[in-house]
A and B are shown apart, each in its own frame.
Chain A
Amino acid sequence: MSTPRRWIFAGILVLAFALRIAWLDLKPAHFDEGVNGWFVDQMTRQGYYHYDPTNFHGPLHFYALFVSQTLLGRGEWALRLPVVLLSTACVGMMLAFRRYFDERACLLAAFAMAVSPGMVFYGRYAIHETWMVFFLLIIAWGLPGLWRFGERRYLWAVALGATGLVLTKETYVIHIIAFLLAVPCLLAFEKLSPSAVWRFGEWKISLRDTLTVAAICLGLIIFFYSGTFLDWSSLPGLWETFGTWVHTGTAQKSGHEKEWYYWLQLLGRYEWPALAGFIASFWLLAPRQPRVARYLAIAGLGALIAYSIIPYKTPWCLIALIWPFYLIFGLAIVRAVDAIDRWTFGVIAALLGVSSLGLTLTLNFRNYTDDREPYVYVQTFTDVNQFLDPLRTLARRNPLHYHLRGHLILPEQYPWVWLLADFPRVDYPSFDQLPEPLDADFLIVDDPLVEQVEPLLRLDYYKFSIRLRGNSDNRATVYLFTGTFAGLVGPKVGIFTPDAMKAPAPAEESR
């Protein structure tokens, strides 16, 4: 690689990292991040991750989050950091494809991924999807290498990539089938329209190498799924999970069901370079096109079709589908620049890249909780900071405030159970089992229950309403005891005073 291109690539990596790490704790913890964080707390308590095949995903992500939280402390920043690093590594992985493609195409693909609104948005979330992208990229890099060069390192790449997928999310099956089916599809299509010459290489891998790789990958799967050998009861979950996931994906009862064209809608809304790559894939139907590009396009299209058929759709899955189209986008632009007109296609590529960057900046740093943005999906609103900020200020001033008492009377406990895990006297009672007396330093009450809860309160509270999560009408009312939170709440916040006729005096009650 020439020196200027090295600098360009370094610049892309720095840009990718900066976009992902800047103001990382801007968004309040998402519901799913709360779930993941709670699992990390369970790991701290139990000593391992207990895999539950009926509800959640593979273990690898949780171990990464556990290490990060153990070393850096509880907080959105620490929880999201592993994914930030991984997402930046995905951009770096793009350059590895220069073994198969023009270096300029790889740089363009890396830039498109670096500034992609989806890659950045979900690269700033402590959820599993970026791991999928990372391992898919490793497999996609290894498979053509096995085919063409037959060297051991490509076998390692494919096997470790597949192992990583298995350790990450149950949807690995779809991607592995897509990779496998793409081979006969490509070979069949080549009968009609031959690819550019790209011969099979000599196989340089011994049986011993294959067995070693298989043993280590199997060992890794067993190691993580057995709770690092401490929870063998989790291991059967590896296959038991598919019954649940087939049901979840097709039962149409989850609330996450979408139309088949949902992914195309998202591509059109946010991912213009990837959409251009998707459209450019049809150019690969012409004879004598690069074999690897065709293979990746078929595999990518296969996964996209499979995900489109499944009714259960959440927007973050998109990033595991679009990465091949960045490479095809880069390849198509380079071809067009060389064959048609350098300036026209250079400007088109630049416009697509800059537009993507603009969308990324708007989405990630301005509209990050705006539920009109389809990527912002059941996101916790910044309203919760009106409660969390004064609480954390108190705890910072005096650690004894970690002992404040609080009741969260809400239908859902996430992400609170993780966010407030340092406050051991916070509980989550159901409405029919409210503690007596109900008064505490703070309460958060689901709005439909406010009328029933307020008559039970006997102290004065700052009272305000917050919206908890997007894509729902989930509102709650926050009560902060005036004696504890005095001076920490804005002047416009109203004060709730209990009905004096019904309640004893606070001083009397406190005795």
Chain B
Amino acid sequence: MNFVAAILYAASTSALLAVVLGLFGGGLNPSSAGLALSAGLVVASATFWKGRTRHESAAPPSAWEWVAILSFVFVTLRIFLWVVFVQGDEIMVLSPNNLGDLSLHFTYIQFIANGAPFWPDNPIFAGHPLTYPLGVDLLHSLVVLLGGDPLRAFVWFGLIGSALTGVALWRWGRGFVLFGFIANGGLAALEILETGALTEQPSAASVGAPVGHRRQHVAIADRNAPRQLQCGRRRAGGSGRS
């Protein structure tokens, strides 16, 4: 459990420090991103070090609990390894629910990574401050500022977040809670009895739904550029490649 807390402390520290650095520096840049993430790393290391001697024993998982663990792992891998992917020239998402959400998060991430002045305006509602709780997007933009691929980082964040969630659920109520979490679709899951198919889409051959044109990376980034330049802010480079 210690490592769950350590990673959460690290994420919180990095995001909070990024806000402070953004407010004082007028925006984020690769240096402030490196500083914020390094601070998170230090906090995580200190947490690990402090709890290194603490070992809590627990009964090993039973056969059914293994079923719950494996189910959670497979569902997680399925969702987040395909959370967003590139097919030819299109950006695709597995879940249709992400069609709108992912574009919005992607906009926030690129907006902040492009050096938007803090506190940033809402990039999709001009003249209004950004009021969305953007902690994870802020963290994501720090990774992008350090050269991380913005789309691939969605996969990393999803998998790491799922692992942390899984451990926390396990500690709360072991296999029952873990399985309950992934089975919370309720009666909608009974559709499988009618269709007999495990696929999210009618056709197994097309699992994804297009969310946009790949070169929109560039378009999104560049659309903000004139405004950044007008404000005299430095625009972060190297984040346009998927």
Contacts and interface: CB of A to CB of B under 8 A. Distances in A.
Interface of A: 44-48, 66-67, 70-73, 212, 228-231, 395-396, 399-400, 402-403, 422, 424
14 contacts: A44-B82, A47-B78, A47-B199, A47-B208, A67-B81, A70-B81, A70-B155, A73-B149, A228-B74, A229-B198, A230-B198, A230-B199, A399-B218, A399-B242
Interface string B54-80: 000000000100000000001000100
Nearest to B205: A46
Contact of A230 (B63, B204, B214): B204
Given A400-B218, A403-B215, A424-B88, A46 B204 contact: yes
B191 interface: no
B174 interface: no
Interface string B196-235: 0011000011011000001101100000000000000000
Given A70-B85, A230-B198, A400 B215 contact: yes
> Which 7 A-B residue pairs are closest in the complex by CB-CB distance?
A47-B207, A424-B89, A424-B88, A399-B240, A399-B241, A44-B85, A399-B218
Contacts, number: 56
B152 interface: yes
B87 interface: yes
Given A46-B205, A46-B207, A73-B149, A402 B215 contact: yes
Secondary structure at chain B's binding surface: helix, strand, loop or mixed? loop
Given A228-B74, A230-B199, A399-B240, A45 B81 contact: no
B69 to A, nearest CB: 13
Interface of B: 63, 74, 78, 81-82, 85-89, 94, 149, 152, 155-156, 198-199, 204-205, 207-208, 214-215, 217-218, 240-242
A317 to B, nearest CB: 31
Given A44-B87, A47-B94, 13 more contacts: A44-B82, A45-B207, A46-B204, A47-B82, A47-B207, A70-B85, A71-B155, A231-B204, A399-B215, A399-B217, A399-B242, A400-B215, A400-B218
A424 B208 CA distance: 18
B192 to A, nearest CB: 11
B85 A73 contact: no
A431 B85 CA distance: 33
Contacts of A66: 81
A27 B120 CA distance: 46
A67 B87 CA distance: 16
Contacts of B207: 45-47
Nearest to B74: A228
Nearest to A215: B63
Contacts of A71: 152, 155-156
Nearest to B241: A399
Contacts of B204: 46-48, 230-231
B193 to A, nearest CB: 15
A364 to B, nearest CB: 29
A222 to B, nearest CB: 13
Given A47-B204, A212-B63, A230-B199, A396 B241 contact: yes
B97 to A, nearest CB: 17
Contacts of A47: 78, 82, 94, 199, 204, 207-208
Q: Could you say which of B85, B204, B207 has the most chain A C-beta atoms within 10 Å of its C-beta?
A: B204
Q: Could you say which of A212, A231, A424 has the most chain B C-beta atoms within 10 Å of its C-beta?
A: A424
Nearest to A395: B241
Nearest to B149: A73
B198 A73 contact: no
Contacts of A73: 149, 152
Q: Could you say which of A47, A72, A73, A228 has the most chain B C-beta atoms within 10 Å of its C-beta?
A: A47
Contacts of B74: 228
Contacts of A399: 215, 217-218, 240-242
A477 B130 CA distance: 54
A392 B119 CA distance: 37
A395 B238 CA distance: 11
Nearest to A425: B89
B44 to A, nearest CB: 20
Contacts of A44: 82, 85-87
A175 B57 CA distance: 41
B123 to A, nearest CB: 20
A386 to B, nearest CB: 23
Contacts of B89: 402-403, 424
A45 B45 CA distance: 39
Nearest to B87: A45
Contacts of B78: 47, 228
Contacts of A231: 204
A77 B94 CA distance: 26
B187 to A, nearest CB: 21
Contacts of A403: 89, 215
A484 to B, nearest CB: 17
A229 B87 CA distance: 22
A73 B242 CA distance: 9
Nearest to B240: A399
A195 B90 CA distance: 65
A4 B66 CA distance: 39
A46 B81 CA distance: 13
A301 B175 CA distance: 47
A45 B86 CA distance: 8
A239 B193 CA distance: 29
A47 B74 CA distance: 13
A209 B78 CA distance: 30
Contacts of A424: 88-89
B169 to A, nearest CB: 23
A355 B64 CA distance: 53
A403 B89 CA distance: 9
A400 B74 CA distance: 36
A272 B152 CA distance: 44
A45 B241 contact: no
Contacts of A46: 204-205, 207
B70 to A, nearest CB: 9
Nearest to B201: A47
A45 B168 CA distance: 32
Nearest to B82: A47
